[in-house]
Amino acid sequence: MTLFVIILAASSVTVWQPVASAAGGGNTAPNSSAVALPLDAWERDPAFHIEDAYKWIVQATRGGEHAVADEAGPRSRLGEEWAGLGSPLPGESLIEPLAKGIVRLHLRPYKARGGDKESLLAAFLASARDFRADPSAFLGAWQQLGEQLRERPPSRLTPQAWAALDDRLRSRGYPAIHHSASYEEGRRPAYRVLTESGAQALLRASGMKGETTNQMPH
């Protein structure tokens, strides 16, 4: 089996690249039928656009966006982002589920509750090692989104926007991309993608409860 060892720096753009699979267990990406797309929540969020849906699906099925070569890069990016974190946004959850076995851990609420940066880094790197991506899961879920948008009544997330983004990214092998400009401005995303088991172990060790939400922060 091929393991796509991948982690997240929220504002970076990197092509999804496979590396050799590690032996042993791990969290396997859900197939497309197991990815429940929260379309209603997306459409209620005025900052959310098709790029953000694409990024959500990438993370739900691939686990994140960057091959882990060593600890230095993730440590540096986390340190820079950590230093600039403000207070949690209104309604910002600590844990946001993506798909079975994979979540976003939001940095502002984690830090505000006394979360430790080094413990987060360790959980982040462990999640990147443990997560096993299914190459078919992303394409299945992305196509599923396109089909659902064509079948739904007109809304802000249009099938035309889906088709335009698909046309732009298909020839590039569907790389990871930035959030939309409106999402960056309105939501100021600051999170790391972790395996669910890794996130819950981190929160237990930190004395936190990992409440979740399927809603976008408002």
Residue partners of 169: CB distance under 8 A and separation at least 6: 54, 175, 177
Query: In angstroms, how far is CA 168 from the centroid of its own chain?
Result: 21
Confidence of residue 166 (pLDDT cuts 50, 70, 90): very high
Of the ranges 14-28, 94-108, 179-193, which one carries the lowest mean pLDDT score? 14-28
Amino acid 47: pLDDT: 95
Whether the per-residue pLDDT at 14 is higher than 70: the answer is: no
Distances (CA, A) of 117 to 62, 81, 169: 24, 11, 34
C-alpha distance across the termini of the chain, in Å = 40
What are the structure tokens assigned to 151, written together? 């079948």
Amino acid 27: pLDDT: 60
Amino acid 4: pLDDT: 33
Whether the per-residue pLDDT at 86 is higher than 60: the answer is: yes
Residue 79 and residue 174: Cα distance in Å, rounded? Answer: 29
Amino acid 120: pLDDT: 96
Confidence of residue 66 (pLDDT cuts 50, 70, 90): low
User: Residue 103, Cβ neighbours under 10 Å: how many?
Assistant: 27
Whether the per-residue pLDDT at 164 is higher than 60: the answer is: yes
Of the ranges 8-12, 136-140, 173-177, which one carries the lowest mean pLDDT score? 8-12
Confidence of residue 24 (pLDDT cuts 50, 70, 90): very low
Whether the per-residue pLDDT at 87 is higher than 80: the answer is: yes
Amino acid 202: pLDDT: 96
Of the ranges 104-113, 122-131, 171-180, which one carries the lowest mean pLDDT score? 122-131
pLDDT, the chain, mean: 82
HEC sequence for the chain: CCECCCECCCCCCCCCCCECCCCCCCEECCCHHHCCCCHHHHHHCCCCCHHHHHHHHHHHHHCCCECCCCCHHHHHHHHHHHHCCCCCCCCCCCEEEEECCEEEEEHHHHHHCCCCHHHHHHHHHHHHHHEECCHHHHHHHHHHHHHHHHHCCCCCCCHHHHHHHHHHHHCCCCCCCCCCHHHHHHHCCCEEEEEHHHHHHHHHHCCCCCCECCCCCC
Residue 123 and residue 86: Cα distance in Å, rounded? Answer: 22
Whether the per-residue pLDDT at 11 is higher than 60: the answer is: no
